[in-house]
Every structure is written in C-alpha cells, then in structure tokens.
Amino acid sequence: MLVKTKKRIYPKEEVCIGCHLCEIYCVLAHSGTRDLIKAFKKKDRPSPRVIVEEKEGVHVTFALQCRHCDDPLCIKACITGAMHRDEKTGAILCDEEKCVGCWSCILVCPYGAIRRGENKKVASKCDLCIEKGDPICVQNCPNSALELVEV
C-alpha cells in the first residue's frame, strides 16, 4: 500500500514570461466547459490551481503547482479526510465535496501551493489534470516554462 507520486511539474524561471496563461487554462480545464468566455462568466468559476510567483520590481516569474509530495503534510493535516492520494496515479487530490474549508492544508503546505477557492470555499489545488491527459498548464505554456517530469 505504498503509492508514490509519479509525475511532477517543474517550472523554469529563466523562460517564464509571467503571462498567466497557465492560470487561465487551468480555470478553463476545471470549469466543466470548453468555452473560455462561459468558463469565466460562471458564478462558481474554479480558482486557478497554479500560482504565478511575482514580485514588484523583480523581473523573475515562475508558475508553481502542488509538488505532489512523497510525504504530503496536507493529507496528514486534513481534518476531514478530503485530501488524499489517488491510488492509480499517485497524485494528491482534494475531494471538494468533503472539504469544509478549514485551510489546515494551507497551514502546512511548505510550498504554499494550495489556494483558497474564491467562489467555492474549498481547498483548490493542482490535480495534474489526471482525467485529461497531460496537464493543461504544461500543454499551453507559450514559452515551455513548465515541464512535466516522470519521477
């Protein structure tokens, strides 16, 4: 019963242009529609599950997703059991029906990679697009600043 992470997305800060397209495609991919306009007009529009690191006066940017840790603190700190590892893919997923938005996962994630859902008060995190093939953010990064690595 020892499942580990099989894939991880790595950012390349040298080539990231800070365009935020990864966030936009992430929202689209998790919106339940293929239409960008419909996706963004939805009242329950999902939050992006990727974070673009930016800082005023600094030119470096890069996008960061859940690291799908081998020893994930978010699962250990989750008070509901919503945070779990997918047995097939090894990805760490949040069962949004179970999550109560206590943010214990945000308290312990050393990467700050879990966001508060803006429209739905649940933990919002990268699921590696496990149901959709390769992660959408990786596929749509215009400058190949995101790389999917088998680990």
Partner 1 sequence: MKYVIIGNSIAAAGCIEGIRKIDNENEIIVISQEPYHIYSRPLISYWLSGKINEEKIYYRPWDYYEKYRVKPILGRKVERVDFDKKKLYLDNNDEIYYDKLLIATGGKPFIPNILGLAKKNVFTFIKFDDVKAIDKAICPGAKAVVVGGGLSGLKAAEALIKRGCEVTVIELAERILGSILDDEGAKLVQNELEKYGIKFVLKNSVIEILGEERVEKIKLQTQEEIPADLVIFSIGVVPNVDIFKDTPLKINRGIIVNTKMETNIPDVYAAGDVVEAFDLILEEKRVIPILPNAYIQGEVAGINMAGGDFEYEGSFPINSIGFFDIHMMTGGIVNPKEDCEVLKRLERDRKIYRKICLKDGRILGFIFINSFDRTGMIVDLMKNKVDVSGFKERLLLDNFGFLDLPKEVRREKIWRV
* Per rule CB under 8 A, count of chain residues that contact partner 1: 39
For residues 24 and 14, what is the distance between their CA atoms, to the nearest angstrom?
21
Residue 4's CB: how many other CB atoms inside 10 A? 11
For residues 51 and 133, what is the distance between their CA atoms, to the nearest angstrom?
21
Is 100 among the residues that bind partner 1 (CB under 8 A)? yes
For residues 142 and 96, what is the distance between their CA atoms, to the nearest angstrom?
30
Query: What does the block give as tokens for 56?
Result: 């005023």
Q: Tell me the closest approach of the beta carbon of residue 33 to partner 1, in angstroms.
A: 27
For residues 42 and 60, what is the distance between their CA atoms, to the nearest angstrom?
32
Side-chain half-sphere exposure of 83, counting CA atoms within 13 A? 28
Is 110 among the residues that bind partner 1 (CB under 8 A)? yes
Instruction: Compare residues 39 and 127 and give the one whose CB is closer to partner 1.
Output: 127
Interaction mask 46-65, partner 1, x per CB under 8 A:
-----x-xxx--x-xxx-x-
Is 19 among the residues that bind partner 1 (CB under 8 A)? no
Stretch that binds partner 1, among 5-13, 21-29, 32-40, 138-146 (CB under 8 A): 5-13
Name the residues that contact partner 1, by CB under 8 A: 1-2, 8, 10-11, 51, 53-55, 58, 60-62, 64, 67, 69-70, 73, 76-77, 79-81, 98, 100, 102-112, 114-116
